[in-house]
Amino acid sequence: MRKTLLIAALALSGATAALAQMTPVGTWHTIDDKTNEVKSEVQITESGGVLTGKVTKLLRKGANQAAVCDECSDDRKGKPVIGLEIIRGAKKVDGKDVWEDGKITDPENGKSYTLKMTPVDGGKKLDVRASIGPFGRTQTWVRTP
């Protein structure tokens, strides 16, 4: 009986862990969609059902670790890229593993885009869609261990 309960408990905890990963919350390596190189590390957090994301590391070879967002036109203008909040306001779509209604800012050009995030591959990857109107592009980020 104990063995059966232990096996059931382990199976349930494994299922719970798998479900918990189907969220953008966590730490991600951003991948340049043109070069396929790792660019940065972004930490996504949730508060009150709303997601935000900050750059925690610059990982591209030769990246200026003291870079600031000179092109930003809002409260982020002139702020260091490391620590910069690039994701704001994303919310989960009811009944789906999709987060929308937020904005993502590219610290390289200061532009903000409409955001859609979808966990894929069991939550190991995150499709991040940035768009302006009908035009946009998708990057696939990789969850850090």
Q: How far apart are CA 91 and CA 3, in angstroms?
A: 41
Mean pLDDT over 83-107 rounds to 97
Which letter does DSSP use for residue 16 in this model? H
Residue 123 near residue 139, CB atoms below 8 Å: no
Domains of the chain: 2-143 (2.40.128.520)
pTM over 0.75: yes
Q: What is the pLDDT of residues 69-80, one digit of tens each?
A: 999 999 999 999
pLDDT over 70 at 125, yes or no: yes
